[in-house]
Chain A
Amino acid sequence: MIGLSHYLIFSTVLFGIGIFGMLSRRNAIAVLMSVELMLNAVNVNFVAINRFVTSGQAAGQLFSIFVIVVAAAEVSVGLALIISIYRHRKSVDLNNFDLLKW
């Protein structure tokens, strides 16, 4: 019988893949995608909590909606930044699309 802990483990794996992407990629957009994976993992947790722990209340789903709202805002700002950087760099030096080095 699948229960809360299975969902939490599934989301932990998703979260871990996101962390790995953050640590290993060197490209701004790829890193941003990894962060989205992490946020999705968190949302799976909240929705699962809503189903198994706080049954009859909607606090978990509410939390996940706020996370989605914030993630959308962050992505729009992030992509505007990427475009701005690209515009700036294009004239200088950019053979490879490899913006974010760390």
Chain B
Amino acid sequence: MEISLLGTEILLATLGFLALVTGLLPGRAKSITGSMSLAGLLLILVYTIAHFGEEASLFQGIYLVDNFAAYFKMLFLTATLLVSLGAGRYLERFENKKSEFYSLMVFATLGMVIMASAGDFITLYVGLELMTVSFYILTAFLLRDGLSTEAGLKYLVLGAASSAILLFGISLVMAYTGTTVIGATAARLMTEPAVVAGIVLLAAGFAFKISVIPFHMWTPDIYQGAPTPVTNYLSVASKAAAFAAMVRVFMVAVDAAPGLTLSWNLILAILAALTIIVGNLIALVQEDIKRLLAYSSIAQAGYILAGLAAANAYGLKGVLFYALLYVFCNTGAFIIATAVEVDSGSTAIEAFRGLSKRSPALAAIMTICLLSLAGIPPLAGFVGKFYLFAGAIQQGYLWLALIGLIMSMVSVYYYLNVSRVMYIEKAGKQEPVKGSGAFRLALWVCALAAIFLGCYPAPLSNLAQQAIQLFL
């Protein structure tokens, strides 16, 4: 076995340990943790991109190195980098725990990477838990803020319960097939009551992790209580990781099972429709930017789920494409929300008043990111939604595509409401919102990606096509 196949994982683990150790350095020396983590993440991202295209099945299918996993690894690393860059002055709220913050972020990324590559349920479960346990701690990181610790506990309880549901589903499937390897499951699955029950529980467990309606209860409270950069990271990366695992499990084990006749597509399509409708409708009445983005992220997960429900080339390509552009657009919006929160001390949408006068660039980028999330052409969100809905129509779910379209138009209202506050209402303060160089870099990357991927989607779309080839 070539050790380089596991390069991303090994380097991430090393970086996480290094970040912990440098945090113990005396005095000002420990401030290198931040720049070291960022440089390390960038290096690992370059390494992962350079190794795209490698295919290997390690330990008899228990760990898979393929394009699908590599695509998601790039996505997670991009998200970690952007979030860490964009956190900026918010990090000062973590006081002397900055190095632990970086280290936990890196370990959470490691968990996601393992999830995306896992070829059996045990590895998948351990990767998932590595990610979520890191997130429980990160969510509670503002120890002076009662809301943050309480959000951490809520997340822990619901996360553990949803893992238990997922595990119960896995155990029923395993009791029937006698194997934990996802690839070996399909051939042995039959249409039996316990198998169907197991798959439904599996779907419910994943639905918790991507906060699909009606399993979304945890999302708004936790998103509001968590430190804003953590909320950002939760909403883009942990969802993408759960989607990566879910796509692999459902495409490899369930969709490909010859003996199983179960309209799992329809179940997921109904869940997706519910999620899109309810998420968008509740987002309409939110007055807090973090809660607004939380409900909007529920709705966005619904769009992505529609692609998985379609389970064809367009739909799956849409899942991958959308997941990445969602990283850029949502992170852009969150980074600005973080900066405004640091500036004004408030997370209300009111705090954005007159931002166009104070910092025109920030207001413009916020508008671009939000419009892209709403799916307005020529921004990236439009292309992503086009793939997702085209896949749904091809699968015969015209109604799902229509619901998606209508609710996208509804979503324009609440996204533009933020722009209205920024451009039309008068500001209390006049001086611009402060931000470091790293913060500006992250913002420009997000904004340019949202525009570039919208005007010229071919390269990323080809990459996504290569990544899903193994499921078709």
Contact = CB atoms under 8 A, between A and B. Distances in A.
* Chain A interface, >50% SS class: helix
A17 interface: no
B154 interface: yes
A73 B133 contact: yes
B171 interface: yes
B157 A42 contact: no
Given A63-B122, A66-B122, A54 B178 contact: yes
A79 B164 CA distance: 18
A8 B194 CA distance: 10
Nearest to B137: A77
Contacts of A54: 178-179
A8 B164 contact: no
A45 B201 CA distance: 14
Nearest to A84: B149
A92 interface: yes
Which 10 A/B pairs are nearest by Cβ-Cβ distance? Answer: A45-B171, A38-B164, A42-B167, A81-B153, A70-B129, A35-B160, A53-B178, A88-B146, A54-B178, A85-B149
B168 A31 contact: no
A71 to B, nearest CB: 8
Given A35-B157, A39-B160, A70-B125, A81 B178 contact: no
B140 interface: yes
A53 B174 CA distance: 9
B175 A4 contact: yes
A62 B180 CA distance: 11
Contacts of A62: 122
B179 to A, nearest CB: 7
A49 B174 contact: yes
Contact of A81 (B129, B149, B161, B217): B149
Nearest to B143: A84
B157 A67 contact: no
B121 interface: yes
Contact of A45 (B152, B163, B175): B175
Interface in A72-102: 73-74, 77-78, 81-82, 84-85, 88-89, 92, 99-100, 102
15 contacts: A22-B157, A39-B160, A45-B171, A54-B178, A63-B171, A63-B174, A63-B180, A71-B160, A73-B129, A73-B133, A74-B129, A77-B133, A81-B149, A84-B140, A85-B150
Given A32-B157, A77-B133, A70 B143 contact: no
Given A41-B168, A42-B167, A81 B146 contact: no
B13 interface: no
Nearest to B174: A49
